[in-house]
Amino acid sequence: MQLYNTLSRRLEPFAPAGPAMTMYVCGVTPYDTTHLGHARCYVVYDLLQRYVRYRGHDVRYVQNVTDVDDDLLRKARELGKPYDVVARENLEILRRDMEALNVLPPAVWPRATQEVPTMLEIAQTLVARGQAYAREGNVYFRAASASDFGTLSRRSPEQMIARLREERFDPDDPRKEDPLDILMWQAAAPGEPTWDSPWGPGRPGWHIECTAMALRHLGTTIDVHGGGEDLIFSHHESERVQAECYTGVQPFVRFWMYAGTVYAGREKMSKSLRNLVLVRELLPRYSGDAIRLYLAQEHYRAHLTFEEARLAEAAALVERLRAVAALAAPGEGPTPLGAQAAIVPASDDFRARFEAAMDADLDTPGAVEVLRDLAAAVESDPIGPAALGRASLLNELASVLGLRLAGQPGTVWPEY
């Protein structure tokens, strides 16, 4: 299998380094959820996880929750609710949406507020080594401690500073030795949740949260780290250098993998622009399978502009695939997975084509085209000896894409 590695900016052969693929994906900050950008991100890594499992590997997947953060605290103040109540309400929405989309739950779903001791251990160690420093209750990582800071994002210092301003991370903070230094721990502010630390009460910075959770739950080197492409800088660049300086192990991540941005018209879909398409608003009109198939028909690295007409086409294709499965065995409903698979003619190349597409940097548009062709083959000969085997293969390959043509049970996420 080949995957595009953002660190090297090229396709590279991919296989898990150990018996199980380890994968960390940045989860939500639960002050609002689940828009189509969230859905695309988590469906992309679900597709990778399902395909790696299909290829015979186990997967250990960790997806965090940033349940203490400036945005969440601001939203809680606006609503007049405790921040943890806002988080819990939105995580329940996310959980239901992920189940509707048949996204496999992570093996570990850690929340930042439960991982503070690990964050403090990392920060204390880096301060002791001189790779971080404390000022007025804040702790900053010295970006200069990592000679390759900026390698992942490939931005100049000027570009990085500009991006920090966009993200409201103050590069002009007078307590910083350098504008690019990373806030690891911030001193207590009135009305905010705090934890005790060697530098006084405070709370963690954003980047150290993922550094700590990834290291604790997956180890010093991870096979795949994912998220939306907007996280490359500053979040993942900062997370990477903190981890590698703390452990002394490189690389922290073997493959950095990113889902492309979702747009509404010409604008990026975002809360600030109020142009979100919410999964919970789509689900009364479209099935989870339809939304998954719509997302899979665009390559994961490409930008996706939401078009409801394309979603309607995906819904029609799902119904066609389901009908084809039923047509192969009239009166019996969809063919059970694996039934009569040996009947598939030896001349059929559907499985080989499907695997070749998925091996080519998770080419799900190509994989969906194989499902179309397989359905057409059944439609052209619905009562011949090969029909049942082809329908079974259709169900099997569709399930690798997370579709439930044969009525398979959906996923169940833990309550938060």
Structure confidence at residue 332 as a pLDDT band (50, 70, 90): very low
Amino acid at 369: E
Structure confidence at residue 139 as a pLDDT band (50, 70, 90): very high
In this prediction, residues 404-410 reach a mean pLDDT of 90
Residue 16: the pLDDT is 97
Indicate if the pLDDT at residue 349 is higher than 70.
yes
Nearest to 372 by CA among 350, 349, 356: 350
Q: Which residues contact 31 (CB under 8 A, 6 or more apart)?
A: 69, 71, 72, 74, 75, 76, 86, 87, 90
Indicate if the pLDDT at residue 17 is higher than 60.
yes
Segment among 214-228, 320-334, 383-397 with least mean pLDDT: 320-334
Indicate if the pLDDT at residue 416 is higher than 80.
no
Segment among 5-14, 238-247, 407-416 with least mean pLDDT: 407-416
Please report the beta strands in 206-277, taking only residues with DSSP state E, as ranges in sequence order.
222-228, 253-259, 262-264, 267-268
Residue 249: the pLDDT is 97
Joined tokens for residue 269: 């879909």
Nearest to 398 by CA among 280, 283, 318: 318
Q: Reduced to 3 states, what is the DSSP secondary structure of residue 240?
A: helix
What are residue 383's phi and psi, to 5 degrees?
-120, 5
Segment among 25-34, 341-350, 382-391 with least mean pLDDT: 341-350
DSSP one-letter string for 327-351? HTSTTS-SPPTTTTGGGS-TT--HH
Indicate if the pLDDT at residue 336 is higher than 60.
no
In this prediction, residues 316-327 reach a mean pLDDT of 91
* Number of CB atoms found within 10 A of residue 210's CB: 30
Residue 385: the pLDDT is 80
Residue 328: the pLDDT is 54
What are residue 304's phi and psi, to 5 degrees?
-120, 120
Indicate if the pLDDT at residue 257 is higher than 80.
yes
Indicate if the pLDDT at residue 256 is higher than 80.
yes
Joined tokens for residue 82: 């405790």
Is 211 within 8 Å of 122 (Cβ atoms)? yes
Structure confidence at residue 342 as a pLDDT band (50, 70, 90): very low
In this prediction, residues 56-83 reach a mean pLDDT of 96
In this prediction, residues 129-137 reach a mean pLDDT of 98
In this prediction, residues 165-182 reach a mean pLDDT of 94
In this prediction, residues 19-45 reach a mean pLDDT of 96
Is 177 within 8 Å of 142 (Cβ atoms)? yes
Indicate if the pLDDT at residue 162 is higher than 60.
yes
**Taking every pair of C-alpha atoms in the chain, what is the biggest distance, in angstroms?**
78
In this prediction, residues 235-251 reach a mean pLDDT of 98
Indicate if the pLDDT at residue 345 is higher than 90.
no
Is 178 within 8 Å of 144 (Cβ atoms)? yes
For a pLDDT cut of 90, what percent of the chain falls above it?
Answer: 86
Residue 173: the pLDDT is 96
Is 225 within 8 Å of 208 (Cβ atoms)? no
Residue 54 or 269, more confident:
54
Is 223 within 8 Å of 58 (Cβ atoms)? no
In this prediction, residues 252-280 reach a mean pLDDT of 91
For a pLDDT cut of 70, what percent of the chain falls above it?
Answer: 96
How many Cα atoms within 13 Å fall on the side-chain side of residue 416?
25
